[in-house]
Amino acid sequence: MASDIRAASFFITSINVCLPESSRRQVEYLELRIGNRTLASRHVSIPSKSLSETFSPGIEVSDDEQCSVSVHCYHRLMGIPKKTIIDLPFVTQDIALSALNANGIRALRMVDGKLQVVVSTSESLNRPEIGKLVPVSDSIIRACPRFRLLVMGKDGVGKSSLISRAFKIRSLRFYEACQRQAGIDTELIFQENDKVVLHNSGGPEAGTNNSVEAFLSRRRNMPDLKDRVHAIWLCVAIPRGNQRLLDDDTEKFIRSRKQLLGDIPLIIVFTKLDLLIEKLDNEALARGEDPELAFLEERMCEELERSCLRPLQDISGEDIPNVAICVREGYECTIDRLLEITAGKVDRNVTNEAAIAAVMAQRACISLKIRDSINVGKKRYWRGLALNSKFLGYTLKECLDVIHMDIVSCWNFEDPNRHLISDQFKTLMLNMVTNLDTRDFPEADEETAFGLSVASAIAGIRGPAVRVVLPIAANATLVGWAYDTYEYSHTALSQTIAYIVDLTAVMQILFLLIPHGHITIPAIKLAITAYSMAGINDVHSPIRDYYYDPHNALTFGSRDQALDMIVGLIKVTSIKSDELTALRARIGDLMKLQREDPKYGWDSDDE
């Protein structure tokens, strides 16, 4: 009878994959293929027994097209990881044979052994209500609105300076808040960076050990992720001379950490590295040696091993994550290292949402910000852009707005006037990608790194004072294409890719320009102008050359070429963490950019 049923047109609205608990397999990801196209791919960070994906408004299947759902499974056999790919093919006639429920949905059920896949379809395309495109960052922030960090250490150990460097919270405000706090339960939240909530403790000293233990016990048992402690920084000053590294109470805390902390990551932060460096420099000078010689770094490592690492290992019995930090200029890499270790431990031991919240909260490491932007983008809206069913039925502006919000949220600038999500700024970014032919813009030196090109452009723009004339108008009428409905086309795809990479580059330049303080209109305009001079051609040219070539197919096979291009172009236009200090020195004083002057708006020249 199946041959008598005419093949109809359907819209796939969801796919659900399920394995029973008795199965040894876990589902890693699924792919939907129609013909030779991979239209959807859903990955999970942690394999599980089930996986689901919803397509809004739906993916069309018609004309007896050959389709398949590929389920990638993972399991271990005698401790050895094994991967299995299960392909379940179907055609529109199979869907037509499925029963129609009261809501007009047909559910095609396919089984392979213990694996069950349900493909739900509708016979009509219903566009969701406007505003249903929800940023990925919204769901992350709902689950974990703030990174919750317990900072332990005696007064004077350098906690205020560390917090100032890592989160750009003014050290005096943190110090004063600690002096006023009622106890370890007090939540320290600061207006200039409300993405982190801090708890302060002088350490597990006599008389306070029970309060620290009770606090951790309470927080560990709280049901919501947002209320639990996500990481602990235990700050310990590097010993001078033959001083002891840890007191008795801190040693006891470290020995009993597994019972007290559970999965909460503990990172030992050795502070006052600058005093050790100064000591070694003075000793070198006294011996008539050049303190800049490389062997001094070896002596520093030897001293840290002797006074910190070996005593710590003797107490802990195993390696505990640790970082020696210096808050002086030129040693930013030590803070970056601490933040990288913290984010990695939180991701592995707590949740990915908490790790993303940690990276959002920090304002010191540009490399982490770039990586976080990419990871959030990969979770949903950057995947499958060539044939993105998530955007069908929406205008291109609506699609770019949700991408814009995700990127800006990851960077977490101090932006009290909300310039970065204003219509004026979005119009600037949209107009930047209106015409991908940017050959009239200056050519960047191929041999010069992006960061150096940007710094040189900024220095050239400024002269003796900041004067910025935008290459594009902020008050221009929004380009017509932004209101076109998103469709599968080279034009829509190329403009979306360009928008993502352009916005990420502008965020990096703002990170370079504003090491402290809040975002201002002059800073945004300078960042856009510098990018137009230093990097826009390196982004727009390969996009234009590839997607405007009629011989290059829009559809893809197993690889997501659009996502690969985005990540590759972001890497080309990345400012490296170890470049920031030198680049800021090259740019010079930019205090004027941190002043919000009413006479310098979006439409005026700034000087």
Count CB-CB contacts under 10 A for residue 493: 23
Pair (54, 144) in one structural domain? no
Closest CA to 134 of 406, 368, 396, 516: 406
Enter the pTM of the model: 0.76
Burial of 169 (0-12, 13-18, 19+ CB in 10 A): buried
For 17, 31, 50, 81, 115, the CA distances from 24, given in Å and listed in that order, are: 15, 21, 13, 11, 11
The residues pairing with 86 across neighbouring beta strands, listed in sequence order, are 71
My answer on whether 95 and 216 are in the same domain is: no
Question: Considering just the CA atoms, what is the radius of gyration of the chain in Å?
Answer: 27
402-454 per-position pLDDT tens digit = 999 999 999 999 998 999 999 889 989 988 888 676 555 656 555 678 999 99
Among the candidates 296, 331, 364, a domain finishes at 364
Name which of 147, 194, 140 is nearest 518 in CA terms: 194
Q: By 3-state DSSP, what share of the chain in percent is helix, strand and coil, each rounded to 5?
A: 45, 20, 35
- Same domain? For 426 and 330 the reply is no
Residue 227 has a pLDDT of 94
In angstroms, the CA 575 to CA 448 distance is: 12
Domain-located, residue 98: yes
In the predicted model, residues of the chain with pLDDT beneath 70 are: 1-9, 36-46, 56-58, 62-64, 124-131, 205-210, 291-295, 387-389, 435, 437-447, 462-479, 488, 548-559, 590-601, 603-607
Q: Is residue 247 part of a domain?
A: yes
Domain annotation covers residue 32: yes
Helical spans, DSSP H, in 514-560: 521-534, 536-547
Sign of the CA dihedral running 348, 354, 357, 362: negative
The span from the CA of 521 to the CA of 606, in Å, is 9
Residues 19 and 100 in one domain: yes
Axis crossing angle, helix 366-379 with helix 490-513, rounded to the nearest 10: 150
One domain for residues 340 and 458? no
Can you say how many angstroms the Cα of residue 220 is from the centroid of all Cα atoms in its chain?
26
Residue 130 burial (CB count, 10 A): 10
pLDDT of residue 462: 62
Phi/psi at 43 (5° precision): -110, 155
Nearest to 343 by CA among 365, 320, 319, 313: 365
The total domain count for the chain is 3
Which two structure tokens, joined as six digits, stand for 162?
């560390």
- 174 CB-contact burial (10 Å; exposed 0-12 / middle 13-18 / buried 19+): buried
Q: From CA 47, how far away is CA 353, in angstroms rounded?
A: 16
Q: Based on the domain organization, do 357 and 389 belong to the same domain?
A: no
Name the nearest CA neighbour of 269 among 361, 144, 175, 154: 154
Q: What is the DSSP annotation of 61-107? A: E-TT--EEEEEEEEEEETTEEEEEEEEEEE-HHHHHTSPB-TTSEEE
pLDDT tens sequence across 251-304: 999 998 888 899 999 999 999 998 888 888 888 788 777 766 666 778 888 899
**What is the domain range of residue 67?**
9-122
C-alpha closest to that of 512 among 496, 543, 495, 535? 535
Q: Are 75 and 143 contained in the same domain? A: no
Considering the domain architecture, whether residues 106 and 154 belong to the same structural domain is answered as no
Q: What is the pLDDT of residue 571?
A: 92
Altogether, the residues listed in the chain come to a count of 607
Same domain, 580 and 512: yes
CA angle 95, 99, 103 (to 5 degrees): 100
Task: Please tell me the distance from the alpha carbon of residue 135 to that of residue 390, in angstroms, as a whole number.
Answer: 12
Which of 55, 87, 122 is the endpoint of a domain?
Answer: 122
3-state secondary structure of 395: strand
**What pLDDT, on a 0 to 100 scale, did the predictor assign at position 294?**
60
Rounded Cα gap, residues 529 and 467, in angstroms: 11
For 539-576, write each residue's pLDDT tens digit: 998 888 877 665 555 444 446 788 899 999 999 999 99
The answer to whether residues 345 and 267 touch, using CB atoms and an 8 Å cutoff, is: yes
Residue 372 resides in a domain: no
Which pLDDT score is estimated for 209? 46
What tokens does 397 get? 């502006």
